[in-house]
Amino acid sequence: MEERYSLVDHPASFKSRGLGQFADSVLPLIDQSISRDAPEAAVVQQIVSKYKGKKVEFLTVADKKGDFNRSTIEVIDWNEAKNRKEDIFKRFLQSPFTNEYLPFGYRLTDDGKEYLYLAETLDTPSPWVRSYGEDSSNTWVGHYYGSSLRNCAIIPFTLPEQYLNRDAFEVASELEALAQENNDASIKAAGFESLAHVNYAIERARRSVTVGIAEAQSLLDEQSKKMEAAMSENIAAAQSGGLLDPIKGISLEDWAAANVQISNGRPLAEVLKVLETEKPVWDEVSAEWMARMSQDTTFAISKVYGDAFTNPNMGRFAQAGGGAAQGSGEADKVKNDFELYIKIMCHQNMASTQGIDAASVLKQYGLSVTDWSMVGAHWAPKMGSDLTLAMKMSPLMEKYNAEFASAGTGSDISF
């Protein structure tokens, strides 16, 4: 018998858990007829009698936030299944745990690994569900889920084979349309038992999308941190090497901000006044900074120059006052609404194909060219670092390209 620890106060105790432990997205899918206050053996009996020979989703809670583990298992009646030919059944029969655990589920993973899901039959405050697999030994049953069978859950569906190994985002969209239609013949033709089965598949696809985005975002964030660290080193090296030293008293920040101020419509005379210089000196300084930037293999100068388009009031312009236009209230509205940003982008693109000036499109939204430049500077880095925006972008572009193609880009738009 395995060494055990006292579980009276362990969070796995069924007395401290309930259906509320699961996320709202799965609660409507769970078979709530399975007892949560019966003895463990009785719960096993209920599950086996109801689902023997059927594949189901088996859920166990992973953390206090309602996240959970899920596995597709075949529910088995051990009295009938123990003589099956699979190796895992033979191994468990020869193990020292047959009096302590009762197999109720079988799982074969995509990579060919076999597992038996075990309900603990010992009389403990919280008998744990275990999985017996190739890494189990005569002294260790296998991985435990930190939960009694009474705290786990059964979803009586699995995903039809034709939807496996497909893009989850595409599957979710396809099944949402099927659910919206809600036609029994179409549902059964697609391989589902009922609308509830379709809703289960939608939830699973959406979860796959969320998990996939989170994993990819984590990798992207890690890469971004490395790139930021490398850029910081580049900037430090450029500074120590004199590459970022001011030219005739005008720093890189001054020069970058001045260029943005000019491009945003501020008169050159005002810019030169802030810099306390004259045009011949400015021309010489600007040419020298451009030359340095073209020869800068560290891209430190380009980084500071690009940052100025997000914050044009840097360097001496931070205290100068009366700086470059900060954008209208409509610009702020677009900065806070990604869908509106994509909508305007599509509107301009469609307009350009018809020879309509993009500036006239912007006027329909109360925006100037300067406003749009600042909005773009706001969203561009976010789109490059936030994968959820990338996932939203394609369907939004499809939606608004179709809308403007059919409605005509020159018409007035309200929002």
pLDDT digit string, tens, across residues 303-324: 888 777 667 778 888 876 545 4
Side chain identity, residue 266: R
Domain boundary among 297, 320, 343: 320
Q: Is residue 415 part of a domain?
A: no
Q: How much is the pLDDT for 193? A: 93
**Among the listed ranges 172-181, 202-211, 279-288, 404-413, which one has the minimum average pLDDT value?**
404-413
Same domain for 115 and 20: yes
- The whole-angstrom separation of Cα 24 and Cα 19 is 10
- Which segment, 217-221, 235-239, 340-344, is predicted with the most confidence on average? 340-344
Position with higher pLDDT, 71 vs 126: 71
Calculate the average pLDDT of the chain: 84
What tokens appear for 208 in the block? 């796959």
CA 86 to chain centre: 38
Same domain for 33 and 140: yes
Q: Is the pLDDT of residue 37 over 60?
A: yes
- The whole-angstrom separation of Cα 48 and Cα 28 is 21
Domain that holds residue 396: 329-407
Tokens 């909005």, located at residue: 375
CA angle 347, 349, 351 (to 5 degrees): 70
Domain boundary among 267, 286, 320: 320
Q: Is the pLDDT of residue 195 over 90?
A: yes
Task: Kindly state the DSSP code that residue 97 receives in the 8-state scheme.
Answer: T
Q: Is residue 181 part of a domain?
A: yes
Same domain for 169 and 154: no
Q: Give the residue from 209, 160, 199 showing the smallest Cα distance to 25.
A: 199
Count of structural domains within the chain: 4
What tokens appear for 100 in the block? 């302590």
Same domain for 248 and 372: no
- The whole-angstrom separation of Cα 153 and Cα 282 is 72
Mean pLDDT for the stretch of residues 358-384: 82
Alpha helices in 82-126 (DSSP H): 87-93
**Helix (H, G, I), strand (E, B), or coil: what is residue 243?**
coil
Domain boundary among 158, 182, 198: 158
Helix (H) or strand (E) holding 207: helix 195-240
Cβ neighbours for 347, distance < 8 A, ≥ 6 positions apart:
361, 364, 400, 404, 409, 413
pTM: 0.58
Mean pLDDT for the stretch of residues 233-261: 88
What tokens appear for 71 in the block? 């596995």
Cβ neighbours for 107, distance < 8 A, ≥ 6 positions apart:
71, 72, 73, 74, 114, 115, 116, 117, 131
Give percent of the chain above pLDDT 90.
40
- Which segment, 136-140, 232-236, 318-322, 327-331, is predicted with the most confidence on average? 136-140
Residue 115 backbone phi and psi in degrees, to 5: -140, 145
Q: Is the pLDDT of residue 42 over 80?
A: yes
Same domain for 100 and 81: yes
Q: Give the residue from 131, 130, 165 showing the smallest Cα distance to 148.
A: 130
Nearest-10 Cα torsion for 148, 153, 154, 158: -120
Q: Is residue 1 part of a domain?
A: no
Q: Is residue 7 part of a domain?
A: no
Same domain for 143 and 23: yes
Q: Is residue 214 part of a domain?
A: yes
Same domain for 397 and 273: no
Same domain for 25 and 146: yes
pLDDT-derived band of residue 290, with 50, 70 and 90 as boundaries? very high
Q: How much is the pLDDT for 22? A: 80
Q: Is residue 209 part of a domain?
A: yes
Q: Is residue 233 part of a domain?
A: no
Same domain for 397 and 282: no
Same domain for 186 and 144: no
Tell me the longest C-alpha to C-alpha distance in the chain: 95
Q: How much is the pLDDT for 190? A: 94
Same domain for 353 and 282: no
pLDDT-derived band of residue 115, with 50, 70 and 90 as boundaries? very high
pLDDT-derived band of residue 200, with 50, 70 and 90 as boundaries? very high
Q: Is the pLDDT of residue 191 over 90?
A: yes
Q: Is residue 198 part of a domain?
A: yes
Same domain for 279 and 253: yes
